[in-house]
């Protein structure tokens, strides 16, 4: 009954449409009737065939084994985005006047919880913020670091006065040397006082060298101190000794590379650069690597 009803509707529709075409009504009616009748059957069949065709044409892509990115080829498809030196998302958020103050406080709280040397630039720049919460958080962070370092220096100095064992005294002296260096590392002293803290760090590091224990770490510290003081020959001597240690080699090579760059010894600079191609990404030498890497 349903099929008969469908055929009657199709016949009526085909008759009306054939009459509107104003051509031979009989043949137009026959064509339209047949076309509209079989389309309900042909349509699903065609869809099924199309599904199987598309399914068979799918190809599984195996695991790509890529050992090296073709950077020149990538630049053809992706735009190159250049970044200003010192520009970064967190710094931009802190300087953006439209960013809510509570969000800036959260950013500063995150930075202070995992404080690094470069982060202190953000902390110092926020001291001039109009937000009382941001300013107080930064002041508090700086005061805590200064208090911790000064308290530890005084503790170790008192321990030295009350100790008669030279080997233990050397341990205290090593600790003091590192503490004075931390003032420089966290940028807590002005340029006028940098010399004082560097000299103290260097003096206690040399005293600690009297011990035979863990000298390589002191050489690394002396290398960084002398590099900061522009005493390149002394810095080179200490850093060369440091890179001979397999545990500190990766950490010390960027400083030695910077040293040779400052001395304009580009041959040795390039030798280290070529060696560091296989070393894990080091932010300190990113700019140098991009400018000096072999094409």
- Write out pLDDT tens, residues 13-69: 666 666 666 666 666 666 666 666 666 666 667 666 766 666 665 555 555 555 555
CATH number of 143-292: 1.25.40.10
pTM of the predicted protein model: 0.60
**pLDDT tier for residue 221 given thresholds of 50, 70 and 90:** very high
Helices (H), 188-275: 191-208, 215-228, 232-243, 249-262, 266-275
pLDDT in tens, 109-157: 766 666 666 667 777 777 777 777 777 778 888 888 889 999 999 999 9
Tokens of 140: 């508090």
> Contact, 205 vs 177, CB < 8 A?
yes
pLDDT at 295: 45
pLDDT at 153: 95
Instruction: Between 213 and 120, name the one with better pLDDT.
Output: 120
pLDDT at 86: 43
Tokens of 230: 């522009």
Round to whole Å and give the CA distance between 207 and 169. 9
Round to whole Å and give the CA distance between 8 and 5. 5
Q: Rounded mean pLDDT of 265-269? A: 86
Strands (E), the chain: none
Closest CA to 244 of 269, 223, 266: 223
Q: Which residues contact 96 (CB under 8 A, 6 or more apart)?
A: none
Round to whole Å and give the CA distance between 156 and 158. 5
Round to whole Å and give the CA distance between 192 and 72. 47
Q: Rounded mean pLDDT of 166-187? A: 90
Tokens of 255: 């400083």
pLDDT in tens, 63-98: 555 555 555 554 454 444 444 444 455 666 666 666
pLDDT in tens, 4-13: 766 666 676 6
C-beta atoms surrounding 196 within 10 Å: 12
Place of tokens 């009657």: 8
Round to whole Å and give the CA distance between 220 and 197. 17
pLDDT at 144: 85
């Amino acid at each position: 009954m349903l099929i008969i009803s469908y055929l009657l509707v199709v016949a009526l529709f085909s008759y009306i449409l054939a009459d509107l075409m104003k051509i031979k009504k009989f043949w137009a009616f026959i064509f339209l009737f047949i076309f509209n009748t079989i389309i309900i059957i042909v349509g699903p069949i065609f869809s099924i065939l199309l599904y199987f065709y598309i399914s068979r044409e799918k190809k599984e892509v195996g695991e790509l084994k890529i050992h090296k990115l073709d950077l020149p080829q990538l630049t053809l498809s992706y735009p190159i985005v250049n970044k200003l030196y010192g520009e970064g998302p967190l710094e931009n958020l802190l300087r953006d006047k439209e960013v809510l103050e509570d969000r800036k406080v959260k950013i500063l709280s995150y930075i202070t919880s995992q404080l690094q040397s470069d982060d202190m630039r953000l902390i110092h720049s926020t001291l001039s913020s109009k937000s009382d919460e941001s300013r107080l958080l930064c002041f508090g962070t700086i005061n805590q670091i200064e208090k911790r370092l000064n308290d530890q220096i005084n503790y170790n100095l008192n321990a030295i006065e009350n100790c008669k064992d030279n080997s233990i005294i050397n341990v205290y002296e090593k600790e003091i040397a590192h503490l004075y260096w931390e003032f420089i590392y966290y940028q807590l002293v002005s340029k006028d006082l940098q010399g004082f803290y560097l000299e103290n760090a260097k003096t206690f590091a040399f005293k600690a060298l009297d011990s035979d224990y863990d000298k390589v770490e002191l050489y690394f510290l002396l290398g960084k101190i002398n590099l900061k003081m522009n005493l390149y020959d002394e810095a080179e001597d200490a850093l060369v000794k440091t890179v001979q240690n397999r545990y500190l080699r990766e950490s010390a090579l960027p400083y030695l590379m910077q040293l040779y760059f400052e001395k304009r010894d580009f041959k040795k600079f390039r030798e280290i650069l070529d060696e560091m191609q296989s070393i894990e990404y080091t932010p300190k030498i990113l700019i140098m690597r991009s400018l000096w890497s072999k094409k």
